[in-house]
Amino acid sequence: MPAPTDQPPAGSSALRLGTALLLLQQAGHVWPAGVQPGSIAWLQSAIDGLCELSSRDALTGLSNRRQFELALASEIDRVARTGEPALVLMVDIDHFKRINDDHGHPAGDLVLKAVAKVLHDCIRPMDTVARFGGEEFAMILPNCPPLFGQAVAERVRLKVQGTSVTIAPGQQVSVTVSLGGAYAPQWVRSSPTLWVERADQQLYRAKQEGRNVASLEQPPSSLVSPEEKGLLFGTSQFQEFL
Amino acid sequence: MTPSPIQAAAPAHAGAASGPRGRIIAVTSGKGGVGKTFLAANLAAALTARGERVLVLDADLGLANLDVILNLEPKLTLHDVFTGRCTLEEAMLPAPGGFTVLLAGSGLVEYSRLTQEVRVQLEDIVAKVAPRFDRILLDTGAGISDVVLYAVSLADEVLVLATPEPTSMTDAYATIKVLATQQQRRRIRLVVNQVSQAGEGRAIRNQLQLVVDRFVVPKIEALDEPLKLDLLGEIPTDAGVRETVQKRRLLLETMPGAPAALALVGVAQRLAA
């Protein structure tokens, strides 16, 4: 393959780029410096910008549902291979309808953005946080041991609870979230749909338990603890101390 | 909301209707490469020799190799049944050893995940074949995937295969734990393969039972009956096994006097008892 040049590719003038360029402009796309419009490098930048756009939620700037599903599918394959624990958290704003009803949809949008920001601030760069739909968000936390999962979920819950959102000059509201979490089956070959289903069941439980609650599924019982291994192979270090 | 696969995996056969039907035995191991398919094929031959009508159903839908062990080149597999390209009848093939097989065909990646469709199809096939045999062996895949757990949930009994290797023992233990806590299994059959000295299988069974009693039993809320590991036999390491597997022949046919073959006959005997 010839090295990319900044020469306009043959036929590029025939491409219908009008809408794409408008979308990129609207999204504040930053073109690489010194790039010739119509060149390969310029087209590549446009494609990258569009890919980025198609993976983001317009309102909150988080990953969108499509991107979430891609990340989930690749994470579940990774877990099957490495056996690392991974957690999916479903996060739903409690009584969101009341915000819309009492203060109007623009206020609702501000709340969504504020919650999105809290979620984004609670995660590591390797994590994915997405707007799943409506007032529901989803997070994928790779390599998250069960002990940390509960802590992360609690941190999110408390941070949202402690955040007030200015919806109009001098007018603030605050909301709470309910969280449901499930670990990827550490065994091979599960499906993303089932993983989310299980997290959703926990979310349902959190709502049942009165909202503003984080409910995580017990880690899969196929995990074999060091104590169990110790007894299995008769090499338990603490046996002597019992 | 659909129940999780694990909850759905509560014995699907429970209360299943009526009529005499064969006993379904799932052969599973946790770890792969411990001789699951070898055991299923040769156990089927041993049971057939006892006069039983036996079917081996290859439930390792993603990575089947029953055909490899039996030197069959299947023209028709479960995949063809699932997609309506042939009838169940046509896919049931005679195997060396006198039993019948239903092969999955390798590389059916689309079935390696438990979808509602796969659930329904597997259950349907098991229900259809069960009345026609005395015993059905389900050769499951490696790991504790939800397909494996689902296939096991269709069985009346579970046979866990382990070797004395620590990784195999750990995985066998994890499998037993999942089966006891999530599928309410109370009696789990154990076969220990590749044993290097007599009595090793018994020792491993006892050790597993010890850990189960200490760590698994307290997790079960209402223990209606004791959780018991039942040793069906130990199969000694035997050069004949490797040789027959490489030649893609049944050990029981080519070397019926080999120590491993004799052990397999013993396993069949205790299973049938």
Token pair in block for residue A107: 């206020």
Element (H, E) at B236: strand B228-236
Q: A215-239: per-residue pLDDT in tens?
A: 998 765 678 888 999 999 886 444 4
**Where do the domains of chain A lie?**
65-216
Q: Would the CB atoms of B113 and A189 count as touching at under 8 Å?
A: yes
User: What is the reported pTM?
Assistant: 0.61
In the predicted model, is pLDDT for residue B229 greater than 80?
A: yes
Measured between beta carbons, which residues in chain A are less than 8 angstroms from residue B146? Answer: 185, 187, 189-191, 194
Q: Is any Cβ of chain A less than 8 angstroms from the Cβ of B177?
A: yes
Split at pLDDT 50, 70, 90, the class of B112 is low
Cα dist. B82→B87, B92, B139 in Å? 9, 13, 18
B35/A contact by beta carbon, under 8 A = no
For the segment B22-32, the average pLDDT, to the nearest whole number, is: 91
Q: How many CB pairs under 8 A join A and B?
A: 76
Q: Is the pLDDT of residue B18 over 90?
A: no
Distances (CA, A) of B11 to A172, B15, B155, B171: 53, 9, 8, 22
Domain ranges of chain B: 21-272
pLDDT band at B7 (very low <50, low <70, confident <90, very high): very low
User: Does the interface ipTM go beyond 0.95?
Assistant: no
Q: Which CATH architecture has domain B21-272?
A: 3-Layer(aba) Sandwich (3.40)
Residue with structure tokens 């997070």?
A: A139
CB nearest to B143's CB, from A187, A200, A231 = A187
The fraction of chain B above a pLDDT of 90, given in percent, is 54
pLDDT of residue B14 exceeding 70, the answer is: no
Best residue in B2, B176, B219 for a mutation probing chain A (most A CBs within 10 Å): B2
Smallest CA–CA separation between A46 and chain B, in Å? Answer: 35
Q: What CATH number labels A65-216?
A: 3.30.70.270
Give the nearest chain B residue to A226 (CA atoms): B170
pLDDT in tens, chain A (242 residues): 555 555 666 666 678 889 999 999 999 999 999 999 889 999 999 999 999 999 999 999 999 999 999 999 999 888 766 667 899 999 999 999 999 999 999 999 999 999 999 999 998 999 999 999 999 999 999 988 877 899 999 999 999 999 999 999 999 999 999 999 998 865 444 578 878 988 998 999 999 999 999 999 876 567 888 899 999 988 644 444 33
- Nearest CA to CA, how far is B208 from chain A (Å)? 6
Search chain B and give the residue with CA nearest A73.
B113
Interatomic CA distance for residues B61 and B89, integer angstroms = 19
User: Does residue B258 surpass a pLDDT of 60?
Assistant: yes
pLDDT at A2: 52
Residues of A in contact with B181 (CB under 8 A): 221
Cβ of B144 within 8 Å of Cβ of A191? The answer is: no
Q: Which of B114, B146, B174 sits opposite A224 (nearest CB)?
A: B174
B112 and A CB contact within 8 Å: yes
Hey, are the CB atoms on B115 and A231 less than 8 Å from each other?
A: no
A232–chain B nearest CA distance, Å: 6
H-run or E-run covering B29:
none
| Residues of A engaging B, defined by a Cβ cutoff of 8 Å | 185, 187-191, 194, 197-198, 200-201, 204, 220-225, 227-229, 231-234
Residue ranges with strand state E in A77-175 = 87-93, 128-133, 136-141, 164-168, 171-174
Phi, psi (degrees; rounded to nearest 5) at B29? -150, -15
Q: Do A221 and B181 touch (CB under 8 A)?
A: yes
Rounded Cα–Cα distance for residues A47 and A24 (Å):
10
pLDDT score, position B104: 79
Let me know: does A64 contact A71? Beta carbons within 8 Å: no
Residue A160: predicted pLDDT = 97
CA distance A148 to B41: 45
Question: What pLDDT shows up at residue A236?
Answer: 46
Is a pLDDT exceeding 60 seen at residue B243? Answer: yes
Residues of A in contact with B143 (CB under 8 A): 187-189
What average pLDDT does this structure show over B55-64? 76
